[in-house]
Each structure stands twice: as C-alpha cells, then as structure tokens.
Chain A
Amino acid sequence: MKRLSLWAILATVTSATLAAPAFAGTTFDAVKARGSLNCGVHTGLAGFGAPDDKGNWAGLDVDVCRSVAAAMFGDSTKVKYVPLTTQQRFTALQSGEIDMLSRNTTITSQRDTELGMNFGPTNFYDGQGFLVPKKLKVNNAKQLNGATVCVLPGTTTELNLTDYFRANKMSFKPVVIEKQDELAAAFFAGRCDAITSDASQLASIRSAQASNPDDYVILPELISKEPFATAVRHGDDQWFDLVKWVVYATFEAEEKGITSANIDSFKGKTDPTIKRLLGETPGLGKALGVNEDWAYQVVKQVGNYGESYERNVGANSKLKLPRGLNAQWNKGGLIYALPIR
C-alpha cells in the first residue's frame, strides 16, 4: 500500500518535473513551445530582483524578464523565475536551466568569451565605491592604506578592490561575507573601516541600515565600471536579438515619452518611429519572429525604462537612487536606444 502510494507520488513528481526538451533546437523555439520563459534572477536584492511580502517578484532586472515575456507571448506574467546564488548563475545559464540571466551581472570580457555568454544592452550603469564612517576623517580612497574592508565574495567587486589596492601599492584586509545584509551589519558594527560595493548598493545600505546615515560618507572615487546587462548563451542569435531589442524598445519608449498610461493616445500618430514601435508599420515583429505589437505589449504591461527605474530603484522606491548615468543620452546619461527601424 505504502509502496504503491509512494510510486504514485514519484510518478506524479517525475512527470511534473521532467520538462520538455531544453535543447531541441534554439532557445527561441524552446521558449515558444514551452509557453513560458525561464528567467534567472537574484535570490533577493532590493530594487533589482526580490520577492515582496506577498511573494511576487519585482525589480529592475525582473522587469526585463517580464518585458521579454510580454514581447514573446503578449503576456508579461508568463515567466518562471529561477532565483540563483552568485555561484550558480553562470552554470544555470550554460546548462540550459534558464533561458536568460537577468541578475545584476557585470559585463566582462572573460564572461563574454570563456563563459560563453552574450550580453544584451546595459540597463544599469554602476561603479564601485567605498562607504566609510565620517569619524575616520578619510576623504578619498587613497587614504585607506591598511584598512579592513567589507566585501561580497565571488563578484567583480572583490577583484576590483584587490586590483585597486595593488595598483596603488596599498595593503588591506578583506572581510568576505556571503550575504549583503550581514556584510552591512558587520560594517555598521565597526568590524570594517570601509565597505565596498556598487554605488547604488552603498546608497541603499547607508539609508536603510545605518542608525544615523549622516555619520557615513560615500568616498568620491569610483574604482571600477560596472555595467549590468542581461545575458544569454552563445550561438543563439534569434533569441539574443529578441532580448536585445526588447530592452532597446523600453529605452526608445522613454525617449519618445511613451508610458504604459499614455501609450494608447499615441496610436495613429504620424511619427514613423512611433508607428514602427507600436507595430502600426509592420515588419519589425516578423523579423524578430514575434507579433507585430510586441513593443506595444512591453510598454503597456511593464512600462518604459524610466517607469521601471523610478518604480524599482528611483524616486518612488525605497532605494531613492538618482538617475545619474542612467538618464537618457539627451539628458546627460548613457541610456541610448539604437535606432529601431
């Protein structure tokens, strides 16, 4: 009896878990056949990818997944989120467990070549900096010789830190802790003289976790460039194209002032770029292999880049990051949509 029920359960579980082919042909076809998108996200990084109190995923990186699903299926909810730790993220992409990696990942040449990834457009420009207590009287990073520095492991952050100190012939002691909240807690307890991370993170760490944020200062130097982007596998051109142009479409929509609220009012406008974007002039969708209204669905369901930014990391969020480098190119930033034509 027990054996029987166990076998029954095993059979159910197996049938439920042995999914459709992961590599029968291209990722594009596999996603289409599956009817949903497997998207690798962070296990919990506020503003970029984290479940809220009700268990719904939200964040700037999560919005990329939703946008791709909206373009592909006309439905931004057709995403299966796969939360990944830093150690798993590349392996999960290589092994086909996920179709795309949208997880706060810095573009580097080694990842692009050796690890066999293709990076989409940068959707967040960041740089690594230092946060120090004011009472240390440190005004720039050059004065940190001999300091103890708190750092997250296994990211480019750790390497940049080492490179910076080596280049300037300074010594330091790293304290490497896996989880950001514990790392920050250790720093505010005085375990380290400085904490290093991406500037966006430092701002949120300071505002959220310091008992008195004014006692801490972010040093002026940024010691690295951290462009975050979505990654897909090598040799998957159609899929790569789709991911790339979905991100550009959200940039373009912001530049043209098209938001999820007002997009319907742009219908029937004469601007040829907008006509192409909304799918009123056909051709783009067919070329990408999706419906002609793909970009309309993206903006309608997820919003343009600016909306996503303000909602997750900007003024309307808990992180309150200024646009800075992430403003449109005509507003002093680096967000620049390639021509959609």
Chain B
Amino acid sequence: MSDLASHDPKTATEIASHVEEPSQAELHIHRRNAFSALGWARDNLFSNIPNTILTVLSVTVLVWTVPPLLDWLLLKATFLGADPQACRDAGGACWSFIEVKHRFILFGLYPYDEHWRPLLAMGLFIAALAASCDPRLWNVKILYVWGLVLPVCGVLMWGGWLGLTFVPNDKWGGLPLTLILATLGIVLAFPLAVLLALGRRSDMPAIRAICIGYIETVRGVPLVSVLFMASIMFPLFLPEGLTIDKLLRAQLGIMLFTAAYLAEAVRGGLQALPKGQYEAADALGLGYWQKTRLIILPQALRLVIPPIVNQFISCFKDTSLVIIIGLYDLLTTAKTALADPLWRPFYIESYVFAAFIYFLFCYFMSRYSQYLERRLNAGTRR
C-alpha cells in the first residue's frame, strides 16, 4: 500500500519530514525528476548514504527469498492430474492436491451433488456484502437487500423447500461456514454491543459495573476458551430436555465474544461526539432513549463503521479457531483433507491454499476500511 501520501503530495512531504527532513531544494528536484525513471530512483532510493544502504539491504532480502519461493510455487510445482508420487518426484509444490480436494476444502461435508447450493448462497452473500460497502446505500435500501438475501441463502443452505433436499446444518462446512460464523457473529453482536457501550457510559453505577465487568472479562480471555466453554456449557445451561446444536453454540460463543470488542468500538464513537450534541439534545427536552436514538447513535455509528469493519476482519480470521470444537470451517476442512494417507505430505499446499482465501477476503476488507476512514475523515483533515 502506498502511504496516505500518494493521494496528496503535500502530505507526502509532511510524512517524510517526520523521518527524513527533506530540504526545499530536494523537493524541487523531486518535482523536476518525477518523469524520468533514473531521477526517480535517485530521489527515492539513493538520495543519501543511509538511504542507499537501506536500498541495498532490501534488494538483498528480495534476491534471497523470491527465487526459491518462485521455484517451489511454480517452476518445480506439479499441477493438474498428477498423483502423489509424481508430486514427490518433482520436489516442488503439489497443486494437484488442491485440484483433487478443493471441493471438500471449500464446502466440507455438504452433500457432494448439492455443492451448487452453497456456492450460489455464498455468491449472493458476498454480493450483498459488496453492496453494503457502498456508502451511498447506507439507508433503508440496504436493509431490503439483506432482507431478501438472507432468507434466500437460508433456503439454499437448508433446503427442504422448493424441491431442494434438506441438509441439516451439521453438514455445512468450509468457506460458507466461515462466512456465516463471521457475519452473523458481527450482526448478532451489534445490538448487544450498543447496549453494552451505552451501559458503560451510563451514569447509573450498577449498570455501569455490570457492563464493565462483562466487557473486561470477555476481553481478558482467549476465544479458544470461550468456544470451548460454549461447546461444553451451553447444553448444561438449558433446562433438561433441550439440546442446542453445535453450530449455534459456536455462533453464540463468537457472538458473545465479539460483542465485548464491538462495544468498545461503539464507545469510541460515542466519546468522539462533541459534548455539544448531548447538551443540545438535553436542551430540547428529549428523554434518554429519544436522545440516544435520534441524535447520538446515528452520528456515533457513522464514526464507528471503520472499526466495525476491522472487527469483522479479525472475526473472520478468528473463526479458524472453531477447529477446537470440531466444526468444519475452512481451516478444519483444509486439515481434514490431509487425513487422506495418500496426500498427507502436502500439508503446506493445503495451508497455502487456505491462507490465500483468507488473505483475499481480509485484504479487500482492510483496504475498504482504509478507504472509509479517508472518506469519513475527508472533512476533518488537518
């Protein structure tokens, strides 16, 4: 990523000035040479001695790492239709493993002949997510989109309707499951998070204590232990005669965990609002809930969108921990694909494939959140 600099030449020099301190003359050169590659290299790579040393070091690192990696990834790799033995002989990456196993890794235990259903559901889901990314649609319209997409996804995944065979949710797996856990984790946690954030800023000591206690406790323990607790304790919490399925248990665990983190993000937004807003609302004689609903939250939540996206990213990565409680998310399927004795040696390929999928999603989301921050801060730039 180019630093923020690339968008605004003035900031570029400002940023550099914290570290580099370019003189006015240098800046002048910089403008003059912007069109010639050599001049660019001189300004950006060899402007002074320490800079040159840094450049040489960086190039060394690249030379040392890139060729062997390329060798393994592409040149010595075996691709389609190879068997495990051919892979071993070639000595590079074994992408035929992915060719054989990709459907299992992507969809887990979902009935093989019905894979088009999770695929379609996932497509719709991602499309709806992409649509929600457009700030112009942040109004009632987006609710209609989700109100339409979610039931359709539900019907596609569960089936048992419109001639689709019923697929119980213990057979769901792979990428759809990862997406569901992460998205619902955030969506379901949101109302709870707002309540917790308001409670933590409330002036009633008992409520504040309960909210602080909850937030700090949850933020102090690893998700692994929360998931584990959820998978053991939820069946015990319910009165006799009720059981609750594993997926929902994990989903609740992730939700309760995420809510605490999200609450802190929302609280940040509440704190960032100028005091005047609160005072003005009080002056209008609005009650607490009216004030919160009409004045405070609409403004605060806009400020909080980038941190929410960031929370979504970490939630998306954290779903990989449901491997602990035996749910077949993307990482679990990638590992289970390796249980096949023929393909066991190719675990690196399996991880690289999974890492690549995670990276794609998280990278785009993180770029999006940076874009949002810039867009929202456009008015408040120094």
Which A residues fall within an 8 A CB radius of B? 1-2, 4-6, 8-9, 12-13, 16-24, 43-46, 50-51, 53-57, 80-85, 87-88, 91, 95-97, 179, 181-182, 184-185, 204, 207-209, 211, 318-319
Determine if B353 is an interface residue (Cβ-Cβ < 8 Å).
Answer: no
5 further interface pairs, Cβ-Cβ under 8 Å (given A53-B112, A87-B228): A1-B144, A82-B326, A96-B243, A181-B339, A319-B341
**In contact, A19 and B336 (Cβ under 8 angstroms):** no
Closest residue of A by beta carbon distance from B149:
A5
Q: Is B236 positioned at the interface, with any CB of A under 8 Å from its CB? A: yes
Q: Mark B138-174, 1 if CB is under 8 A from A, else 0.
A: 0010011011001100100010000000001111010
Q: Which residue of chain A is the closest to B251 with respect to CB atoms?
A: A13
Check B245 against A53 for contact (C-beta < 8 Å): no
Contact A85 B347 (CB under 8 A): no
B338 CB contacts on chain A under 8 angstroms: 181
Q: Contacts of A85 on B, CB cut-off 8 Å?
A: 324-326
Q: Which of B103, B232, B339 contacts A95 (CB 8 A)?
A: B232
The answer to whether B242 touches A18, judged by C-beta atoms less than 8 angstroms apart, is yes
Pairwise interchain contact B341-A55, C-beta atoms closer than 8 A: no
Bound state CA distance, A88 and B246, in angstroms?
A: 12
Contact B326 A9, beta carbon cutoff 8 Å: no
In the bound complex, do residue B241 and residue A9 qualify as a contact, i.e. CB atoms below 8 Å apart? no
Q: In this complex, what residue of B is CB-closest to A40?
A: B326
Decide if A88 touches B143 in the complex (CB within 8 Å): no
Can you list 7 A-B contacts with CB-CB less than 8 angstroms, sorted by A residue number? A2-B146, A17-B169, A46-B340, A50-B336, A51-B336, A53-B101, A181-B339
Instruction: Determine whether the beta carbon of A1 is less than 8 Å from that of B147.
Output: yes
Contacts of B170 in A (CB 8 A): 80-82
Find B241's partner among A21, A54, A182 (CB 8 Å cutoff): A21
Q: Does chain A have a CB within 8 A of B131? A: no
Select from chain B the residue with minimum beta-carbon distance to A317: B341
B 213-235 to A, binary, CB cutoff 8 A, 1 in contact else 0: 00000000000000010011001
Chain A residues with CB under 8 A of B228: 87
Task: Quote the shortest CB–CB distance from B56 to chain A (angstroms).
Answer: 34
Give the residue among A4, A50, A181, A318 with the most B Cβ atoms within 10 A.
Answer: A181
Chain B residues, Cβ within 8 Å of A23: 240-241
Q: Are A80 and B168 in contact (CB under 8 A)?
A: yes
Q: Is B98 an interface residue (CB 8 A)?
A: no
Say yes or no: is B111 at the interface (Cβ < 8 Å to chain A). Answer: yes
Does the CB pair B111–A181 fall under 8 Å? no
Decide if A179 touches B104 in the complex (CB within 8 Å): no
CA distance A292 to B339 in the complex (A): 39
Question: A208 near B243 (CB under 8 angstroms)?
Answer: no
Contact of B345 among A18, A22, A87, A209 (CB under 8 A): A209
> Which of A1, A19, A88 interacts with B245 by CB under 8 Å?
A19
**Given A17-B248, A22-B241; A55-B108 close (CB under 8 Å):** yes
In the assembled complex, the CB of B337 is this many whole angstroms from the nearest CB of chain A, namely: 8
**Contact residues in B for A318 (Cβ distance below 8 Å):** 340-342
Contact A96 B235 (CB under 8 A): yes
A101 to B339, CA, bound (A): 20
Report whether A211 and B88 are in contact in the complex, using a CB–CB cutoff of 8 Å: yes
B102-127 to A contact mask, C-beta < 8 Å, 1/0: 01100111111000000000000000
Q: Which of A22, A46, A182 contacts B243 (CB 8 A)?
A: A22
- Taken together as a complex, chains A and B put the C-alpha atoms of A9 and B153 apart, in Å, by 11
A53 nearest in chain B by CB position: B104
Q: Please tell me if the beta carbons of A55 and B110 are within 8 angstroms of each other in the complex.
A: yes
Chain B nearest CB: distance from A42 CB in Å?
9
Do the beta carbons of A181 and B344 come within 8 Å of each other? yes
* B335: interface (CB < 8 Å): yes
Neighbouring B residues of A208 by C-beta, 8 Å? 341-342, 344-345
List of A residues within 8 angstroms of B345 by Cβ: 185, 208-209, 211
Any chain A CB within 8 A of the CB of B300? no
Pick from A19, A55, A87: contact of B112, CB below 8 A: A55
Kindly state whether residue B34 has any CB partner on chain A within 8 Å: no
Q: How far is the CA of A4 from the CA of B103 in the complex (A)?
A: 35
Given A18-B243, A80-B170, decide whether A46 and B325 contact each other with a Cβ distance below 8 A.
no
Given A55-B108, A82-B246, the answer on whether A91 and B147 have CB atoms closer than 8 Å is no
- Which of B108, B143, B154 is in CB contact (< 8 Å) with A1? B143
B328 close to A (CB within 8 Å): yes
A50 touches B245 (CB 8 A): no
When chains A and B are docked, how far (Å) is the Cα of A8 from the Cα of B248? 16
When distances are taken between beta carbons in the complex, the residues of chain A under 8 Å from B169 are: 16-17
Q: Are A5 and B151 in contact (CB under 8 A)?
A: yes
Residues of A within 8 A of B335 (CB): 44, 179, 181
Q: How far is the CB of A199 from chain B (nearest CB, A)?
A: 15
- Give min CB distance, A321 to chain B, whole Å: 11
Q: Within the assembled complex, what's the spacing in Å between the Cα atoms of A96 and B238?
A: 12
Contact B187 A6 (CB under 8 A): yes
A6 to B150, CA, bound (A): 9
B332 close to A (CB within 8 Å): yes
For residue A96, give the distance in angstroms from its CB to the closest CB of chain B: 7
Q: How far is the CA of A173 from the CA of B108 in the complex (A)?
A: 37
Residues of chain B within 8 A (CB-CB) of A95 are: 232, 235-236
Minimum CB–CB distance from A89 to chain B (whole Å) comes to 9
8 smallest beta-carbon distances between A and B, as pairs: A208-B341, A21-B241, A54-B112, A44-B339, A55-B109, A44-B336, A2-B143, A5-B147
- Closest B residue to A45 using CB positions: B339
B160 nearest in chain A by CB position: A16
